[in-house]
């Protein structure tokens, strides 16, 4: 399967570059690059549970979000190249730590290598749920390769209006591509199923980050979810936005959400009668939850 990297069409950019020789839009090479693996206690309660989520943060990204809170790894490429065998070993290390799951954060560029690493790790005893934590700018054909390997999909649905996706993430047709991808994820793993402790073991949880000055776009996202996605699917509506990276220079994104904006979103969620999910509280110190990208992976 690794030959797919010789003419890469893993994501919707379909760069068709030979990643053994050069990089495409996402800046990923043939080797896996990760910035951190850790136990994360601040995901949704059904993801982190009491033991934490075993995150693996991959470097590089096929979006260029000007407000990315992890921009040091997603946009600037901070991290360390590792082998597929090392990635499998990391999965097993995380499992030994007692985490609830393996949480693959921004994994799109490395789908092929991840599948091979999962095969190796499963042969050596990996048996906890695997999460695919994605921006949803995905090819359905690539997602189909993951069927049977992924237990939980954790997709973002960032924008409804494609002009915002173009302006803030530098991609075309985001909404059409992302919604098709989310429907494929639901086809594969279905509605959420939980263990006896209330931790998600299979299914889809859709995330949406509310941006300042774009409340109407968030309403359209939520309305689409309500009208097009099974009611059993969980939704996580997030208030944790803060201006970072290039967003500090943008007049619409250079501030946090106001209390009025967030109350409008909360009221709209109630109006839609969305049944399952989480609504984040509006906080004051969101910057403190961004990981530090210093780790020795030798």
Q: What is the pLDDT of residue 291?
A: 75
Q: What is the pLDDT of residue 144?
A: 98
Q: What is the pLDDT of residue 234?
A: 97
Domain-embedded: residue 7: no
Domain-embedded: residue 227: yes
Mean pLDDT of 205-213: 98
* Domain around 140: 30-289
**147: which 2 tokens?**
């069927």
pLDDT class of 152 with cuts at 50, 70, 90: very high
Q: CA–CA separation, 41 vs 160, rounded Å?
A: 30
Domain-embedded: residue 11: no
Domain-embedded: residue 278: yes
Q: What is the pLDDT of residue 297?
A: 57
Q: CA–CA separation, 121 vs 126, rounded Å?
A: 5
Determine the number of helices (DSSP H) and then strands (DSSP E) in the chain: 9, 10
113: left (phi over 0), alpha (psi -120 to 50) or beta: alpha
List, for residues 11-21, the tens digit of each pLDDT value: 999 999 999 99
Mean pLDDT of 33-43: 95
Checking if the pLDDT of 75 tops 70, the result is yes
Confirm if 182 and 136 have CB atoms less than 8 A apart.
yes
Q: What is the pLDDT of residue 298?
A: 52
Q: What is the pLDDT of residue 283?
A: 77
Q: CA–CA separation, 184 vs 144, rounded Å?
A: 8
Q: CA–CA separation, 233 vs 148, rounded Å?
A: 19
Helices 174-189 and 162-169 pack at an angle, to 10 degrees, of 100
Domain-embedded: residue 23: no
Checking if the pLDDT of 289 tops 70, the result is no
Tokens 């997030």 — which residue? 238
pLDDT class of 287 with cuts at 50, 70, 90: low
What pTM value is reported for the model?
A: 0.96
Domain-embedded: residue 22: no
Number of compact structural domains in the chain: 1
Domain-embedded: residue 1: no
Mean pLDDT of 187-216: 97
CATH of the domain at 72: 3.20.20.70
Domain-embedded: residue 258: yes
- List the beta bridge partners of residue 237: 208, 279
């Amino acid at each position: 399967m690794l030959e797919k990297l010789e003419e890469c069409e893993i994501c919707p950019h379909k760069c068709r570059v030979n990643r053994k020789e050069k990089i495409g839009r996402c800046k990923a090479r043939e080797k896996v690059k990760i910035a951190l693996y850790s136990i994360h206690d601040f995901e949704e309660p059904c993801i982190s549970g009491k033991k934490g989520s075993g995150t693996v943060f991959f470097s590089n990204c096929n979006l260029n979000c000007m407000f990315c809170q992890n921009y040091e790894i997603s946009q600037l490429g901070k991290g360390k190249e590792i082998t597929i065998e090392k990635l499998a070993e990391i999965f097993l290390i995380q499992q030994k730590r007692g985490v609830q799951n393996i949480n693959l954060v921004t994994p799109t560029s490395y789908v092929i290598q991840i599948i091979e690493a999962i095969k190796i790790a499963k042969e050596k005893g990996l048996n906890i749920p695997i999460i695919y934590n994605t921006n949803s700018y995905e090819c359905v054909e690539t997602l189909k390769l993951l069927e049977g390997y992924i237990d939980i999909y954790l997709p973002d649905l960032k924008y409804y209006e494609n002009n915002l996706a173009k302006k803030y993430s530098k991609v075309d047709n985001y909404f059409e591509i992302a919604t098709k991808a989310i429907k494929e994820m639901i086809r594969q793993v279905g509605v959420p199923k939980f263990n006896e402790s209330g931790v998600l073991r299979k299914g889809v949880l859709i995330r949406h980050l509310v941006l300042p000055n774009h409340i109407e776009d968030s309403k359209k996202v939520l309305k689409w979810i309500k009208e097009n996605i099974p009611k059993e699917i969980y939704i996580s509506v997030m208030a944790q936005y803060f201006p970072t990276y290039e967003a500090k220079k943008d007049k619409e994104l250079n501030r946090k959400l106001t209390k009025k904006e967030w109350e409008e979103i909360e009221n709209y969620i109630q109006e839609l009668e969305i049944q399952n999910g989480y609504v984040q509280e509006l906080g004051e110190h969101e910057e403190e939850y961004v990981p530090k990208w210093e780790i020795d992976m030798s």
